[in-house]
Amino acid sequence: MSYKSILVTGATGYIGSHVCKLLKEYGYTVVGLDNNYHGDHNDVSKYTDMLWRRDITEESMFHGSYDAVVHLAGRSVVPQSLKEPFEYYRVNTMGTATMIESVDTDHFIFASTSSAFEMASPYARSKVGAEDIIKELANGYTIFRFFNVSGSNGIHRQLGSASHLIRRAAMVAAEKLPNIEVFGEDYDTSDGTCVRDYIHVDDLAMAIINAIENGPTNTPYENLGSNHGWTVHQVLDIMEKVTGKSMNRIVSPRREGDAVSAIATNLSKYCNLTKTIEDMCLSQYQLELGKNG
């Protein structure tokens, strides 16, 4: 493989840090961009040849030519998007337009979401808007709709307040939280809780590498998940099994914007799964305990 230059937005975030590490291991020149929105970051200094602290909505701030752009930066918390919808459209939709107009690349890789299938929140709609802009403006593109990304490489972590189920469950198992809140137990599912599909962050990062090495798909979207769904209670049962710790479960009313079920079908050809949901739970638990591996 010839040395290629890749721009990664959201480089110091959860997914971005895993992607930067893997890109460097595969011999790429990695340019990172992040504004440290959470006031915190993952250290990617060993995996980036250049790291800019800039916002994706800043026009004309990062002109350049790249073999591929991996656009991961954006807002991603559904409840917050219900309170601040304009901010989500500004960052996720218009920020994506700014990126496309500011950089020269034949392959724009975009982190979209499984929430796009139901569009029950401003977050989801802002991502679909970004997808439309990419299809209109990008020279070549791969749009990945991520399902629930979980787990860790043992080094890099999710930033900000814990909102993802597996992370919160791991924090309960590690005695960093007293209980786990279950939002809604009256859905039309096997145990009344929402169903979600999960993919390990390492497998997702590898799918991005595969896309870079094989080129743009120029398809409406590519699904990254496992083609299997787990209810909230099933995930908590798995966390209990792999950690030997019990989950103190508190049932609360449904949250606005939550879909009943989201399961990946027609997985992307770039998606090759090597990790299980047990791996996701255990690696997240070990990270909470400060153990690598």
Residue 36 has pLDDT above 80, yes or no: no
Average pLDDT on 2-13 reads 87
pLDDT of residue 38: 56
Q: What is the pTM of this model?
A: 0.91
Residue 203 has pLDDT above 90, yes or no: yes
Q: Is pLDDT larger for residue 88 or for residue 164?
A: 88
Domains parsed from the chain with CATH numbers: 5-289 (3.40.50.720)
Average pLDDT on 15-37 reads 92
- Tens digits of residue pLDDT in 118-167: 888 999 999 999 999 999 999 999 999 999 999 988 787 776 677 789 99
- Mean pLDDT estimate for the chain: 91
pLDDT of residue 292: 45
Which helix (H) or strand (E) is 262 found in, with range?
strand 261-262
Buried/exposed 173-184: b ≥16 CB within 10 Å, e otherwise: bbeebeebebbb
pLDDT of residue 60: 53
pLDDT of residue 226: 96
CA distance 173 to 265: 31
Tokens 């919160």 -> residue: 168
Which helix (H) or strand (E) is 89 found in, with range?
none
- Tens digits of residue pLDDT in 110-130: 999 998 998 889 999 999 999
Residue 193 has pLDDT above 50, yes or no: yes
pLDDT of residue 293: 39
pLDDT of residue 119: 87
CA distance 83 to 94: 18
CA distance 248 to 68: 45
Pairing of strands 230-231, 195-196: antiparallel
Record the tokens describing residue 85, joined without a space: 């919808």
Q: What angle is formed at CA 15 by the lines to CA 226 and CA 160, rounded to 5 degrees? A: 115
pLDDT of residue 58: 77
Residue 44 has pLDDT above 50, yes or no: yes
CA distances from 25 to 18, 208, 209, 240, 284 (A): 11, 13, 11, 34, 22
CA distance 156 to 32: 15
CA distance 125 to 133: 12
Q: What angle is formed at CA 205 by the lines to CA 23 and CA 183, rounded to 5 degrees? A: 150
